[in-house]
Amino acid sequence: MTTPLVSLQDLSVQFCGSRKASALNAVNLELGAGEVLALLGESGSGKSVTLRTLLRLHPERTTKIQGRMQVDGQDVLALKGRALDLYRGGTVSMVFQEPGLAFDPVYTIGQQITESIRAHAAIDEAAARAQALQMLERVQIPQAKRRFDAYPHELSGGMRQRAMIALALACQPKLLLADEPTTALDATVQIQILLLLRELQRETGMSVIFVTHDIGAAVEVADRIAVMYAGRVVEQGPVGEIVRRPRHPYTAGLLAATVGTENRGQPLLAVPGSPPDLAALPPGCSFAPRCAQASERCRREVPPLQTLGQQALACWHPILPLAEAA
């Protein structure tokens, strides 16, 4: 891997408003150009927070961000004003989980895409509208011309998510963030949207980070998987390696819950026990209270993230030691 497109180093995010939480605790993550990464983990493990941090979408006054965050050679935490606006949507953009909530209900789809294009490029209204219409056609919305003038509530869920993707890709971002882009949709539509995302990724060569609860979807779409637990990346590696030879006890637990029984499309079943309170993390490995392998050391010291080649792992007693992928 040459210089990665995305590089997160010891990224920590603390919310210190009315709800206190250490949502991210020294996350380390790298992503190359054109790579597709799936973020996996239980509810509350910090997947959405990671994506929102990449766009600096947290309320500024009540959020403390530490560590380093580099995207496309830019120090994202140092961006301000116009540079930040251009970065958002221009370099990195986001597909939200609920397209019904992520569109402004009182502007048409076309107006919103056009507005977004004009916020990033100095072109006139007519040219921006033409580009916006082209985007709608590219995400395979039938009768795109008519949909262009439709309000969000006039489209079906699947069409709305396609429009959301068109909106996100309108300014040719280098990185697309997709937070459970299909969870809110019907099963058949889910697959279509995933295939569309994969196809657009291949066409444009952009990188994608997508959050999913569906390991089947991760296997289908992603090159790599990163598993998160209590605001940390505990294991990551190529899809095949993670799925076939999980090394972290938590990853193994997650997979046992779904892959073994081959019930694709099912959300991850909970590993026994519940995640720790993010306002009061245990001193050692945060998975220790639920881990069968846990030792004294696990309870005392946080296991560091060790990297070998494509893989990374944070565990004192892994199921298998890290080794170069066969």
Partner 1 sequence: MFAYIIKRLIYAIPIALSVTVVSFVLVYLAPGDPLNAIAPADAPEEVIVALKSAYGLDKPVPVQYGLWLLRAVQGDLGTSIASGRAVTAEVLSAVSNTLLLAGMAALGGVLIGCILGALAGYRHGTWIDRVATVISVIGVSIPHYWLGLVLTIVFSIWLPWFPAMGAGPGGSSEWLWDVEHLRHLVLPALTLSVIPMGIITRTVRALVADMLEQEFVTALRARGLSGVAVFRHIAKNTAPTVLAVAGLQIGYLMGGSILVETVFAWPGTGFLLNTAIFQRDIPLLQGTILVLCMFFVVLNLLVDILQPLIDPRMGRG
Ligand X SMILES: Nc1ncnc2c1ncn2[C@@H]1O[C@H](COP(=O)(O)OP(=O)(O)OP(=O)(O)O)[C@@H](O)[C@H]1O
220 contacts partner 1 (rule: CB under 8 A): no
- 39 or 206: whose CB is closer to Mg ion? 39
148 contacts ligand SF4 (rule: CB under 6 A): no
CB-CB neighbours of 115 under 10 Å: 16
Q: Tell me 60's DSSP state.
A: S
SS3 179: strand
41 contacts ligand X (rule: CB under 6 A): yes
6 contacts ligand SF4 (rule: CB under 6 A): no
269 contacts partner 1 (rule: CB under 8 A): no
Identified binder of partner 1 from the candidate list 45, 50, 63, 93, rule CB under 8 A: 93
285's contact among Mg ion, partner 1, ligand SF4, none, with CB below 5 to 8 A by partner kind, is: ligand SF4
Backbone phi, psi, residue 209, to 5°: -115, 120
302 contacts ligand X (rule: CB under 6 A): no
Region near partner 1 per CB under 8 A, out of 63-71, 83-91, 255-263, 283-291: 83-91
Paired tokens of 237: 């590696």
CB 153 to ligand X: min, Å: 24
Chain residues 1-40 in contact with ligand X, contact rule CB under 6 A: 15, 17, 19, 21, 23
Chain residues 112-141 in contact with partner 1, contact rule CB under 8 A: 115-116, 119-120
- 31 or 113: whose CB is closer to ligand X? 31
Side-by-side strand order, sheet with 224-229: 92-95, 175-179, 207-211, 36-40, 224-229, 232-238, 311-313, 306-308
CB 116 to partner 1: min, Å: 5
Q: What is the C-alpha separation between 156 and 99, in angstroms, rounded?
A: 10
Query: Which long-range CB contacts under 8 A does 100-103 form with residues at least 24 apart?
Result: 100/152, 100/153, 100/157, 100/160, 100/184, 102/164, 103/152, 103/160, 103/163, 103/164, 103/167
Angle value at C-alpha 263, between 257 and 269, nearest 5 degrees? 30
320's contact among ligand X, partner 1, ligand SF4, none, with CB below 5 to 8 A by partner kind, is: none
Identified binder of Mg ion from the candidate list 14, 25, 48, 311, rule CB under 5 A: 48
Place of tokens 């306002």: 279
Site track 281-310 with ligand SF4 (rule: CB under 6 A), x = hit: ----x-xx--x-xx---x----x-------
Place of tokens 């050692």: 284
- 106 or 122: whose CB is closer to partner 1? 106
Side-by-side strand order, sheet with 74-75: 20-31, 6-16, 63-71, 74-75
- 22 or 190: whose CB is closer to ligand SF4? 22
Q: Do residues 32 and 3 touch, judged by C-beta distance below 8 A?
A: no
Q: Tell me 216's DSSP state.
A: H
- 23 or 166: whose CB is closer to ligand X? 23
114 contacts Mg ion (rule: CB under 5 A): no
Q: What is the C-alpha separation between 285 and 152, in angstroms, rounded?
A: 45
90 contacts ligand X (rule: CB under 6 A): no
CA atoms within 13 A on the CB side of 84: 11
Q: What is the C-alpha separation between 247 and 249, in angstroms, rounded?
A: 6
CB 258 to ligand SF4: min, Å: 19
Q: Provide the binding-site residues for ligand SF4, judged by CB under 6 A.
A: 249, 285, 287-288, 291, 293-294, 298, 303, 315-317
Q: Provide the binding-site residues for Mg ion, judged by CB under 5 A.
A: 48
Q: Provide the binding-site residues for partner 1, judged by CB under 8 A.
A: 52, 55, 57, 84-90, 93-94, 96, 98, 101-107, 115-116, 119-120, 151, 153, 167-168, 171
